[in-house]
Amino acid sequence: MKIRFRLTLWYFSITLFILLLFSLGIYLSMQRVLFRSLDQDLTEIADVVEQSYNDSLATFDILQLDSEKTDPFLDYYLVIYNRKKEVIFRSALAEQISLEVPFSAPGDPERATLKIFLRHPIPRLHPGKKGEIAFRAINRELRYQGKRLGWITVARPIEQLEESQHRLLQILFVAILIVVALIGASGYLLTRKALAPVDVIARRANQISHSNLNRRIEGVSPGDELGTLAETLNNLLERLERAFQSQQRFMADAAHELKTPLSVLRAHWEEELNNPELSLPMKEKLARDVETISRLTHLINNLLLLSRTEQIRENFDFSEVRLDEVLDEVVADAAILAEMKEQRLVSEHQESVTLRGDRSRLYQLFFNIVDNAIKYTQPGGEVSIRLRRIGGEAVVEIRDNGPGIPSEDLPHIFERFYRVKKDRARQTGGSGLGLSICQLIARVHNGKIEVESQPGQGSLFRVRLPLEEGEKQAAKS
């Protein structure tokens, strides 16, 4: 998962958690306020009843109603007990239902929320779908001049309070959904904007390779952490550039230093081969040494080419090249090598293909691949070369029916000095630079090399090179 999505998810999760806590706090606080208000109303009813006590008549005056007065407790469940906890008064609602509210301790009112099931409809009560209705009730002592008179239970249905809570819950739910959507969108946008410099750093870092190590990552604010990261990467690139230049200088200097004495030795020993005083075994030994020096000279020339990566195009001589003619030369020269191993070398191209390139380097590219195919194909095998025009490209396919390349080696075959089955490579005399040179030549020609291979089924090297505009139009037509 990308870091921007992780940061957005963390921001979203933390903010959502805080929002849920805040909403829960609002809901519980509102519930507490509503219940406190209802308890205060019930307490006031109990106080009114207590204050209406008539000591001379031992009755509560407020309970003495005549036909002209409206019952003040019509909406309340009201039960009064004497000191023996016997019921001495019930309101109209208390005559129809019964609430089991515990008696309170002295000076400590008992509060309770109760639910009952209504077996039959009662006026002014609105039960829920299951026929249940909730009441908020209190039970407290009744006293007159410090003397206990009894207890009173006052209750009231709380369907309106529950409805208010339900509406509040709906409002909070809708608000949470809206806020969550806004948080998610704004979090993603903010994270994307904050991490935009990371995309800049990654894009510009991907554009830097061994051929342009002098480039630096720019356009990032130097005053923050990402600016510090860009500066650190620039310092790393600077050190890499110095190390790479030092390596190139070493390779070029070493190659130059070795090239001259090897040329002198080869010339001297080739001259000695014409010395009639030397015995035949000695001449054979010198001939083998000359061959070894030739291989070393070839290796040095390859190292020189690879060491000139920065100015590589300056070492190429570009002109119009008939690619089919180049392949004909490769086939003619490689045919001798194939015959020595009793192999068939097949060439297939029925049309001329012209492109802009360096003829000698293109010859080197294809000869190296064909030479490898011949080296690693068993005697009696076959190597085929096929040239086609596909779209705006010239495609050369070189196929063999050799042992193939293991899948774990395929990603590394173009690395310098990397050799598949190194013991066999030593027997064939490979240096591990041939395919690196081929890839370099293809890249300088704005082309590429593709490889398909499976163990036991041979290998296919496909070289793609761009055509000139005229050739592209011909290929399209």
Report pLDDT digits (tens) over 319-370: 999 999 999 999 998 898 889 889 999 998 767 899 999 998 899 899 989 9
- State residue 395's pLDDT score: 94
For residues 383 and 444, membership in a common domain is answered with: yes
**What's the number of CA atoms in the CB half-sphere (13 Å) around residue 468?**
13
Residue ending a domain, choose from 286, 307, 328 = 307
Same domain (yes/no): 113, 17: yes
User: 473 pLDDT exceeds 50?
Assistant: no
Whether residue 455 has pLDDT greater than 80: yes
pLDDT of residue 313: 66
204-215 in b/e form (b: 16+ CB < 10 A) is beeebeeeebee
With 60 as the cut, is the pLDDT of residue 172 above it? yes
Whether residues 37 and 163 fall in one domain: yes
Residue 288 and residue 367 share a domain: no
Q: What b/e readout covers 378-388, taking b as 16+ CB neighbours within 10 angstroms?
A: eeebbbbbbbe
Domain annotation covers residue 208: no
pLDDT digits (tens, 9 = 90+) for 115-148: 888 878 887 788 877 888 999 999 999 999 889 9
Whether the pLDDT of residue 458 is over 70: the answer is yes
Indicate if the pLDDT at residue 396 is higher than 90: yes
Mean pLDDT of 238-251: 76
Closest CA to 330 of 353, 361, 304: 361
pLDDT at 180: 85
- Looking at 12-26, 201-215, 228-242, 243-257, which range is the least confident one? 243-257
Considering its fold, how many domains does the chain have in total?
A: 3
* 422/403 Cα distance (integer angstroms): 14
Residues 47 and 145 in one domain: yes
CATH of residue 254's domain is 1.10.287.130
User: Do 364 and 325 belong together in one domain?
Assistant: yes
Stretch 216-240: mean pLDDT, rounded?
79
Residue 215: inside a domain, yes or no?
A: no
Token duo for residue 54? 């008539």
Residue 279, token pair as written in the block: 């015995």
pLDDT computed for residue 392 by the predictor: 87
The better pLDDT of the pair 430, 64 is held by 64
Tell me whether residue 216 is in a domain.
no
More confident residue, 472 or 453: 453
Pick the closest to residue 435 from 452, 459, 419, 454 (CA basis): 419
Contact (Cβ atoms closer than 8 angstroms) between residue 30 and residue 168:
yes
Query: How many angstroms separate the CA atoms of 432 and 444, rounded?
Result: 20
Q: Domain with 464 in it: what CATH number?
A: 3.30.565.10
What's the CATH code of the domain at 112? 3.30.450.20
Q: What is the CA radius of gyration of the chain?
A: 49
Q: Considering the domain boundaries, does residue 195 fall inside one?
A: no
22 lies in the same domain as 167? yes
Q: What is the pLDDT of residues 368-383, one digit of tens each?
A: 899 889 988 889 899 9
Q: Pick from 263, 280, 307: which residue ends a domain? A: 307
Examine the fold and report which residue of 307, 339, 369 is the final residue of a domain before the chain moves on: 307
* Residue 404: band (very low, low, confident or very high) from pLDDT cuts 50, 70, 90: confident
Do residues 386 and 452 both lie within one domain? yes
Determine if the pTM surpasses 0.85. no
Report d(CA 443, CA 161) in Å as an integer: 79
The answer to whether position 209 is within a domain reads no
Ranges 6-20, 123-137, 285-299, 365-379: which has the least confidence: 285-299
Average pLDDT, the chain: 82
Q: Which residue, 340, 421, 422, 420, is CA-closest to 374?
A: 340
206 is a domain residue: no
Among positive and negative, which fits the CA dihedral 253, 254, 255, 260? Answer: positive
Q: Are residues 160 and 18 in the same domain?
A: yes
95 within a domain of the structure (yes/no): yes
Residues 331 and 446 in one domain: yes
Kindly state whether residues 42 and 123 are assigned to the same domain: yes
Higher pLDDT, 471 or 190: 190
**Is 334 found in the same domain as 275?**
no
Question: What is the spatial distance between Cα 288 and Cα 378, in angstroms, rounded to a whole number?
Answer: 25
Estimate the crossing angle of helix 196-206 against helix 159-194, to 10 degrees: 30
Q: Is the pLDDT of residue 387 over 70?
A: yes
Q: Domain of 43?
A: 3-184
For the stretch 64-95, pLDDT in tens is: 766 556 677 888 999 999 999 999 999 989 98
